[in-house]
């Protein structure tokens, strides 16, 4: 039998790593397509109708604000001049839904990659003895808490037409909430030190800092009856997106656990 040389051993490790990487990517594509398609279906059923209703109020308000400006500029409502078109956006119907589906699937693929690598690593490092659907659900719950619950407690999902604080400030606070929540949960879940529970204190840091908000309400510029209806739509939108994201993350976690057990377990153990 021909002895294995260091060069041959390194080549074998490189080949195994390449095969593992390909399997992870293929699993992420499969899991992402499943979870992203499910989220899109739920959004089509529950979320998008609320967005359409809110856009109706937003467009009506925009028209009312634009017409007086046109009259002042041109002297009458129809001056016969072309006005610059707004920013491009997908057409209503199949095109808009197609872009929504694409965005959801691509985002789900990215999250699936993170989950698959994390699950495979925890299995390889013996952080978990048995990788089943319940373990996958725990990952899904963690993802839901990190990327939806924690940010939404400070910055709830917004409907079209809502006035908001500076976008950059909101993005930075969202990132702070995600990083603090992910770090706190990861330390508690994977650290062996006795005082790991102290890391849960990170979860409250974003709320001590405070999320950026306007001094007035999000619908202060609307007439009171319209503002009340928009506030009701905002509540419906929050719960609809909360349900959609909950199902999305649970499917993402459980499907990722199934993919690791089915296609990656032998390669990492």
Pick the residue with more confidence: 145 or 164?
Answer: 145
C-alpha to C-alpha distance for 161 and 134, rounded to whole angstroms: 40
Tens-place pLDDT, residues 57-108: 878 776 666 555 444 444 433 433 333 445 667 777 778 888 899 999 999 9
**Cα separation of 185 and 8, whole Å?**
41
Cα 19 to Cα 12, 114, 117, 229, 261, distances in angstroms:
11, 18, 14, 55, 16
Percent of residues in the chain assigned helix, strand, coil, to nearest 5: 75, 0, 25
Q: What is the per-residue pLDDT for 90?
A: 72
Upper half-sphere CA count for residue 4 (Cβ side, 13 Å): 7
Q: Domain coordinates of the chain in residue numbers? A: 14-61+98-164+214-268
List the single range of 24-38, 77-91, 182-196, 239-253 with lowest mean pLDDT. 77-91
Beta strand segments in the chain, E: none
pLDDT over 80 (residue 156):
yes
* Predicted pLDDT at 91: 73
Residue 15: pLDDT band (50, 70, 90) is: low
Residue 197 has pLDDT above 90, yes or no: no
Q: Do residues 260 and 119 lie in contact, with contact meaning Cβ atoms separated by under 8 Å?
A: yes
Mean pLDDT (the chain) is: 83
Top pLDDT among 28 and 262 is at: 28
With a cut of 90, say whether residue 256 has pLDDT above it.
Answer: yes
Q: Would you state the pLDDT for residue 63?
A: 65
Tell me the C-alpha distance between 65 and 161, whole Å.
Answer: 13
Model confidence at 237: pLDDT above 70: yes
| Angle made by CA atoms 29, 36, 182, in degrees to the nearest 5 | 85
Instruction: DSSP for 164-216, please give it.
Output: -S-HHHHHHHHHHHHHHHHHHHHHHHH--SGGGGGGGGGGGHHHHH-----SS
Q: Count other C-beta atoms under 10 Å from residue 160's C-beta.
A: 17
pLDDT of 3 strictly over 60: no
A 10 A CB-CB count for 142 gives: 19
Q: In this structure, are residues 119 and 257 in contact, taking their beta carbons and an 8 Å threshold?
A: yes
Confidence of residue 244 (pLDDT cuts 50, 70, 90): very high
- pLDDT over 50 at 178, yes or no: yes
State the Cα–Cα distance between residues 131 and 170, nearest whole angstrom. Answer: 37
- Cβ(98)–Cβ(110) under 8 Å? no
Query: What is residue 79's predicted lDDT score, i.e. its pLDDT?
Result: 37
Chain centroid to Cα 167, Å, comes to: 17
pLDDT value of residue 32 = 95
Name the pTM for this structure: 0.82
Can you tell me the mean pLDDT for 137-157? 95
């Amino acid at each position: 039998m021909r002895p294995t040389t260091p060069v041959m051993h390194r080549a074998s490790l490189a080949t195994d790593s390449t095969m593992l990487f390909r399997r992870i990517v293929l699993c992420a594509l499969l899991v992402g397509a499943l979870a992203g398609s499910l989220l899109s279906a739920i959004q089509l059923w529950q979320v998008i109708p609320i967005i359409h209703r809110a856009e109706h109020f937003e467009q009506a308000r925009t028209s009312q604000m634009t017409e007086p400006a046109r009259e002042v500029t041109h002297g009458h409502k129809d001056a016969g001049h072309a006005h610059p078109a707004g920013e491009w956006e997908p057409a209503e119907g199949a095109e808009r839904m197609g872009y929504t589906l694409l965005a959801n699937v691509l985002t789900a693929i990215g999250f699936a990659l993170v989950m698959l690598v994390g699950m495979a690593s925890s299995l390889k490092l013996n952080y978990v003895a048995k990788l089943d659907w319940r373990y996958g659900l725990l990952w899904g719950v963690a993802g839901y808490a990190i990327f939806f619950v924690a940010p939404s407690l400070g910055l709830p999902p917004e409907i079209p037409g809502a006035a908001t604080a500076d976008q950059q400030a909101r993005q930075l606070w969202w990132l702070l909430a995600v990083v603090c929540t992910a770090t706190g949960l990861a330390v508690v879940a994977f650290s062996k030190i006795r005082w790991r529970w102290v890391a849960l204190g990170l979860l409250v840091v974003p709320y001590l800092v405070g999320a950026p908000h306007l001094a007035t309400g999000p619908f202060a510029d609307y007439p009171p009856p319209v503002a009340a209806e928009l506030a009701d739509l905002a509540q419906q939108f929050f719960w609809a997106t909360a349900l959609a994201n909950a199902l999305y993350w649970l499917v993402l976690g459980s499907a990722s656990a199934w993919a690791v057990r089915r296609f990656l377990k032998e390669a990492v153990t």
